Structures are given as C-alpha cells and as structure tokens.
Amino acid sequence: MTTILHAEDLGRARTAADFAAVIALLDTDLNNAAARKQELEQAEDSAIFGDGDVGAVRTALTDCNVAIALLEKTIEAADKRRAAAAQSEARADIAALGDEIKSKAASLGERWRTVHRLIEQLRQELFEADALNRAITTANGLFDAAGVADLKINLTTTRRAAMAGPRATLPARLSRPAMQADRLLLSFLSPGGALDPRPALGAPVESVKSKFIPASERG
C-alpha cells in the first residue's frame, strides 16, 4: 500500500501557509516520482531486450504510477484545503479590520467633538479679543486727540508677539480638506492673515478671500 510521506504534516496543517508548505514538499516528491518513472520506463525497454528483470521493472513501474496518481490527488485535495483556509483567513482579517475601524470611528467622533469644543472656545476668545481691540482702538484715538501719542498701544505688534511661537508640523499624509482647514487656521496666526490687515513684509498685496480661491478661478 502506497503511503504519503507527508501525511502527518497534512494532518497538522491548519493555515493557508501550512498547506502551501506541505504542497511544496509534495510537489518535490511528485517531481522525484516522475523522474523515477522515466528511469523505470527506460529500464523496461532494456529488460525487454534481456538486460534486466521485466517483471520486477514492471511491478516497480506500476507502484510508481500509483504513487504519482496518489501524489497528484493529494496535492489537488491539499490545494483545495489551502484555498479554503485562505478564504477563512481573509474573512477573519476583514472581521478584525471591521472591529479596528469601529474603534477608530469612535476615536474620530471624540476628535471631532474636541475640534467642535476648541472652535467654539476659539470663537469666544476672538469675540473677547475683538472687544478689547475695539476698546484699545478707541483709547488710541483719544490719546491722539489729547496729544499723548506715547500712551498708544500698537495693536499689530501686540497681536503678532502674542501669536509668535512654534507651529505643529504637518503629517506626511494629509487630506486636501484638512490642508485647506489648516491654511485657514494658520491665517489667523500669520502676518497678512485673516486678523492682520497688513500683508507680511515683502508679500504682494492680496485680499484674505483671494488667498483661498484657486488662481484658475480668480477673475
């Protein structure tokens, strides 16, 4: 009775990679068996003309053919098992990805809630800063009228000094909407930006609105 050399390996195989490894071994056995068959066929030809035992050679050739057929059948069955295992693993990977994405979606929601809170906080700070700005502007006018210009506050210098400092580095990959939002946020900090009526030193005169309109769409 012909047996498969790697039957134990097949019995232990569970994953697509396990089956692929055993199939590679079976393929090697099949190649060896095919080479052995060719040798036996040549030996049969020689035995027919008196050089060898024809019966023994033909028996060996029959055994070899049986082994080849069994190997081919085993490889076919193992390949089906490999494909089924690969499908199962793919489904498991998708399920795991689904769980991961659900977790990321929850984190995304938390991030957006934080963005909303910070934007509302920013708006409130802008409202209060604007009120102070208007109060100081009015006072500066009174100081001019009273001839005490040395008491005036330079609002631009005050704002630019307060908004100076390190900036976060852009991540390697950022979506276009996120980049546009980032440019808008930076415009509140940059000279010549949304809160600064004067352009940065050496920059061309350009309205704040036009900075966010593609050149191809400008009139």
pTM confidence score: 0.56
pLDDT tens-digit profile of 95-143?
Answer: 999 999 999 999 999 999 999 999 999 999 999 999 999 999 999 999 9
pLDDT tens-digit profile of 181-205?
Answer: 999 999 888 888 888 766 555 545 4
Distance separating alpha carbons of residues 60 and 38, to the nearest angstrom: 12
